[in-house]
Chain A
Amino acid sequence: MNAKYLKLGFGVVVIAALIIVPMNFNRYGLFILSQWAVMTIAAMGLNLTLGYAGQVSLAQGAFVGIGAYTAAIMTSSGFPLIAALAVAIVLCFAIGWILGYPALRVQHHYLAFVTLAFSTLAFLVFRNEEWLTKGIYGISNIPRPEIFGYPTRRPLPFYYFCLGSLSLVSLAVWWLIRSPWGRAFVALRENPVRALSLGIDTRHYTLMAFAIGSALGGVAGVLYAPLTQYVDPVPFHLSLSLDLLMMVIVGGSGFFFGPFLGAMIAVLLPEWLRFTQGYYLMLYAVAVIGLLIYSPSGILGILDRFIAERRTKAASAKRATATAKLEVTP
């Protein structure tokens, strides 16, 4: 019971801090924090596909791009952001579903290459289809939305908009992973042969894992466009997919809070290390390598290992006590 209250209290403090502390941040600080919220949503989608369902994807950055371009094109044409959000979700869900089909036949690095090819294809479309995306010139002056009549043009209201969106997505993902679907995703990752023999339609769940994860990438993209107010193809190159992959792995793949931590490290740590000037990227790389050597299951993997060790010790002590009692009893 104490641990439950401790977790609840910690959660309240973190949420309060995310609401109150940024009130004193400057424009750049708010931009970085908003970017963290957006990238966390994209990483949550990848965590669902990779961390929970065990399907490798190097295409998450492409879905962020699809969402961002959908928002940029539609809002620049006068449509509300909510309409762009609906279109982006449907579009990314459908493309993600189709991209899931190769996963029914190939796995691991083969699947990584299939998704990498899609990532490259999406980038080429962003860059070359100028009639739609304006190519390398990009789309500028993307408006920020009004939420129930409140404008989010200024950085602080827009940050709260991103934070609110992150909260809604987090609740939805929390619901999903605690539902039988979430258990089926885990079964898919842990032992697909056994899952199939238990009546779990692994084909359907594989496609769903891809589709939902991709749709979340699209949601992140829809927020990204009004955040930067300018989109061009460069941010959605393969490097974004690799960054998102790193966020999931460093934070803790298959842990609910992994993407939050991973995105924090990927987005905020380079900023905090800027005082080291030219060395900051090197230090950042060394920190990530060191972490993954120490804990391949990411930061939350360390915590999980600690809890598992404590639980095993407690169970061993319990068993020893029970055995001792049996030996004493005549």
Chain B
Amino acid sequence: MSAVLEVSNISKRFGGITAVNGVSFDVQEGEILGLIGPNGCGKSTLFNCILGQLAPSGGEVKLDGQTVTGLRPSELNKLGVSRTFQLLQVFPKLSVRENLILAGQEHQGNMLSRLIGPSDAGLTDAANQMIGFFKLDHLAEEPAGGLSYGQQKLLDAAMAFMGGPRLVLLDEPAGGVNLTMLADLKDRLRAINQQKRATFVVIEHNMEFVMSLCTRVMVMAEGKVLAMGRPDEVRANPAVIDAYLGH
């Protein structure tokens, strides 16, 4: 296995506040890394620094050994890095299918072919497959804004997979999703991980979800890495119990 993502000494300061403080870790190909920690510990800020949504104050991010620090999110997406958001980020006025078509369109052709070429270019088929995969068939024509919170979360995840990414960073995918949908989501993520060898980094507060899905778990507290290891190791770590999991 080779490291898909290498994060070295990443820091992010907002004025006098250090949100992320010298965080380093790597993610191997095909791995599912869980990222847990109390609210405000810097998990989402770390995601935003890795994904180019925020410029890190220091440190380096490498993708397949190439430095990608400071690249824009759209450029990283073209390199096969995708993400979901903690808060809902779908296009509410577009239908579920249109959301998915939009999510995949920039991975086909170039600017000119996207203007003068066929408007579909197989995207509808790809979107329909994703709709079926995430069991959203009955909602395909519905405007995304009319879906329930959990359904929008599923759509958000489905959109992240439209371009066939190699690395996906999921920010609290289970938040607000009911138990049935959660089981479905976990199955879908596992299937994509195994079939496509996609690599995941998952921020989540749902411990059952994290411990049963992830191959490794990293714990953050106050902007730093507190612990890293297999789920059972992390669960038994006294420092983690003290800072986050509780007794």
Name A residues whose Cβ lies closer than 8 Å to a Cβ of B: 176, 178-181, 183-184, 186-187, 190-191, 193-194, 196-202, 204, 308, 312, 315
Extra 19 A-B pairs, beta carbons < 8 Å, given A198-B163, A202-B74, A308-B143: A178-B119, A179-B116, A180-B119, A183-B102, A190-B91, A190-B92, A190-B93, A191-B90, A191-B91, A193-B85, A196-B77, A197-B51, A197-B73, A197-B83, A197-B89, A198-B74, A198-B159, A199-B107, A199-B163
By a CB distance below 8 angstroms, the chain A residues around B143 are: 308
Q: Which of B77, B107, B114 contacts A197 (CB 8 A)?
A: B77
By a CB distance below 8 angstroms, the chain A residues around B142 are: 315
Residue of B nearest to A208 (CB): B111
Residue of A nearest to B83 (CB): A197
Does B119 contact A194, Cβ atoms closer than 8 Å? no
By a CB distance below 8 angstroms, the chain A residues around B72 are: 196, 201
Residue of B nearest to A182 (CB): B119
CA distance A200 to B75 in the complex (A): 9
What 0/1 readout, one digit per residue, does chain B (54-68) give for beta carbons within 8 Å of chain A?
000000000000000
Does A180 contact B105, Cβ atoms closer than 8 Å? yes
B147-168 contacts to A (CB < 8 Å): 159, 162-163
Does A200 contact B114, Cβ atoms closer than 8 Å? no
Whether B44 sits at the interface, judged by CB under 8 Å, is: no
By a CB distance below 8 angstroms, the chain B residues around A193 are: 53, 85, 89
Q: Which of A179, A181, A190, A199 contacts B74 (CB 8 A)?
A: A199
By a CB distance below 8 angstroms, the chain B residues around A191 are: 89-91
Whether B230 sits at the interface, judged by CB under 8 Å, is: no
Does A181 contact B101, Cβ atoms closer than 8 Å? no
Listed residue (B91, B143, B162) with the most chain A CB atoms within 10 angstroms of its CB = B91
Whether B172 sits at the interface, judged by CB under 8 Å, is: no
CA distance A68 to B101 in the complex (A): 40
Given contacts A178-B119, A181-B115, A312-B146, A194 and B91 within 8 Å (CB-CB): yes
What 0/1 readout, one digit per residue, does chain B (83-116) give for beta carbons within 8 Å of chain A?
1010001111110001001110111000100111
Q: Can you name 5 A-B pairs with beta carbons within 8 Å?
A: A186-B93, A197-B73, A197-B77, A198-B77, A199-B78
By a CB distance below 8 angstroms, the chain A residues around B119 are: 178-180
Whether B199 sits at the interface, judged by CB under 8 Å, is: no
Name B residues whose Cβ lies closer than 8 Å to a Cβ of A: 51, 53, 72-74, 77-78, 82-83, 85, 89-94, 98, 101-103, 105-107, 111, 114-116, 119, 142-143, 146, 159, 162-163
Given contacts A200-B74, A312-B146, A180 and B114 within 8 Å (CB-CB): yes
Q: How far is the CB of A203 from chain B (nearest CB, A)?
A: 8
Q: How far is the CB of A255 from chain B (nearest CB, A)?
A: 12
Given contacts A178-B119, A190-B92, A198 and B103 within 8 Å (CB-CB): yes
Given contacts A199-B163, A200-B106, A179 and B115 within 8 Å (CB-CB): yes
- A-B pairs, top 8 by smallest CB distance, nearest first, are A199-B77, A199-B106, A180-B114, A194-B89, A180-B105, A196-B73, A190-B91, A197-B73
Q: How far is the CB of B122 from chain A (nearest CB, A)?
A: 12
Residue of A nearest to B121 (CB): A180
Residue of B nearest to A254 (CB): B93
Listed residue (B74, B85, B101) with the most chain A CB atoms within 10 angstroms of its CB = B74
By a CB distance below 8 angstroms, the chain A residues around B106 are: 180, 184, 198-201
By a CB distance below 8 angstroms, the chain A residues around B53 are: 193, 196-197
Given contacts A193-B89, A196-B72, A187 and B163 within 8 Å (CB-CB): no
